[in-house]
Structure 1
Amino acid sequence: MKQLSTVLNGVLLVAVNILFLSSCNNTGNQQANVASNAQADAEFPVAYINTDSLLLNYTFAKEVNEQLMNQEEASRADFNEKAKVFQQDAVAFQRKVQNNGFLSMERAQKEQERLAKAEQDLAQLNQQLTNALMQEQEKLNRQLRDTLITYLDEYAKDHPYKMILSNTLGDNVLYAAEGVDITNQIVEALNARHAASK
């Protein structure tokens, strides 16, 4: 009986040792997993740029916006001048009709057709000017985006970022640790680069 008790104690001692060693291995594995996850985080750094701030502070973006506004103003002035001439012709036509100023009905009808054609031409001009502005805006936006993407390609070579996100009015980035917003660095670098290109 005493031998059985000694054997059981020996078996229990071995079992406790096995459980202890396996628990140490699991703790070591968990620590290794935590360390490897931390290393993976360090290998995949992410940053973001606040696009609104970039557009407000990037000199080239301001110039592009001003250029577009000037073009829109010129287009609007041109259209308004032609619309004013049309409006004056239409008022003069109405006055003549009310005062029986046309020698014949045929003459009045021809003037009405001319005004209808002028109105149609004015609508087409408005559409053409709108389309031209949209195309110019698209072209300038593409140039702006290209300058940013080109610079970020170079920036990523000197910095460890694997991904740089765009954040507009807090839409995409709901939380970011301090130091992840690189907007000011990018704006300063882009402005320096733009100034040097002039």
Structure 2
Amino acid sequence: MNKITLPLSIIAIALSLFAIFNPKPSNDQVYVDVNKLLDGYKRTEIVRKDLQEKTTLLKANVDSLVSGWQKELKVYEKERAYMTKKEKELKQELLANKQQQINNYQQAVQKQMQEEDQKATQTVINDINDYVKEYGKTHSHQIIFGAGGNGNIMYAVEGADLTTKVLEGLNAEFEGK
């Protein structure tokens, strides 16, 4: 009986050591909260600030054009009693054309800002996706889910949330460590 106990003990110790020192891929299912990553990522803040500055400048341009048009309209209203029918028609046509041009410019500005917002947001999302992919490879995760608050993940244990770790690494990478 002693002859069998010693080899079994050695095998058990060897298997224990193998299990401890042989890292295996994590089979844990983990996730990140995409909304928290977007909000906490420092590049998002910079991109949003840049877009807000552009939007403010373009809005000021539109407001200036509208203000100028309104002044012309007030002048016309004061002077129309002294105008001939032909002058009134011409001035009304000019004011209508100017108003249409301002409306077209305003729509073009809104479209431009929407496109720039989408492009900037996609750039940030691509950064996050690339980082999460590398994080998953580095930490041997087989899958990392993205929770967006719309029912993708209804429940998860606290330890399955990688959001804070990923956000810290993402911001460190963005800032150049």
**Which bin holds the TM-score, normalised by the shorter protein?**
0.7 to 0.9
Q: What residue in structure 2 maps to residue 11 of structure 1?
A: none
1:125 and 2:105 equivalent?
Answer: yes
Relative to the length of structure 1, the TM-score reads 0.72
- What is the aligned partner in structure 2 of residue 186 from structure 1? 166
On the 8 A contact 1:45/1:160 being kept in 2, the answer is no
Whichever residue aligns with residue 63 of structure 1, its letter is: I
Report the number of matched residues: 153
**Alignment partner for residue 141 of structure 2, among 134, 139, 161?**
161
**Cα deviations across residues 57-77 of structure 1 (Å, max 9, x unaligned)?**
210011111111111111111
Residues 27 and 141 of structure 2 are in contact (CA less than 8 Å); yes or no, is this contact kept in structure 1? yes
Stretches of structure 1 lacking an aligned partner (at least 5 in a row): 1-41
Counterpart for residue 92 of structure 2:
112
Whichever residue aligns with residue 75 of structure 2, its letter is: A
**Alpha-carbon separation, structure 1, partners of 2:152 and 2:31:** 9
2: distance between equivalents of 1:161 and 1:127? Answer: 46
CA distance in 2, matches of 1:54, 1:143: 14
Structure 2: distance between partners of 1:89 and 1:169: 51
Q: CA RMSD in A?
A: 1.7
Identity %: 22
* Residue matched to 1:94: 77
**Residue 170 of structure 1: CA displacement?**
6.0
Q: Which one-letter code corresponds to 1:72 in the other structure?
A: T
Which of 82, 85, 94 matches 2:68? 85
Q: Is 1:59 the counterpart of 2:42 in the alignment?
A: yes
Q: 2-side partners of 1:126 and 1:133: how far apart? A: 11
Consecutive unaligned residues in structure 2, runs of 5 or more: 1-24
Aligned mates of 2:162, 2:150 — CA distance in 1: 14
Q: Which residue of 2 aligns with 1:137?
A: 117
Shift of the alpha carbon at 1:166?
2.1
**How many angstroms apart in 2 are the aligned matches of 1:156 and 1:167?**
16
- The Cα offsets for residues 105-124 of structure 1, whole Å up to 9 and x where unpaired, read as 11111111100000100110
Residue of structure 1 aligned with 2:56, choices 70, 73, 93: 73
Normalising by the residue count of structure 2, what TM-score does the alignment of the two structures yield?
A: 0.80
Aligned equivalents of 1:46, 1:190: Cα separation in 2? 20
Q: Please give the alpha-carbon distance, in whole angstroms, between the structure 1 residues aligned to 2:129 and 2:85.
A: 66
1:113-139: CA deviation from partner (whole Å, max 9, x where unpaired):
100000100110011000100110111
2:38–2:125 contact (8 Å) kept in structure 1: no
Q: How far off its partner does 1:43 sit?
A: 5.9
Distance 1:43 1:187 in 2: 20
Contact 2:41 2:171 survives alignment (8 Å): yes
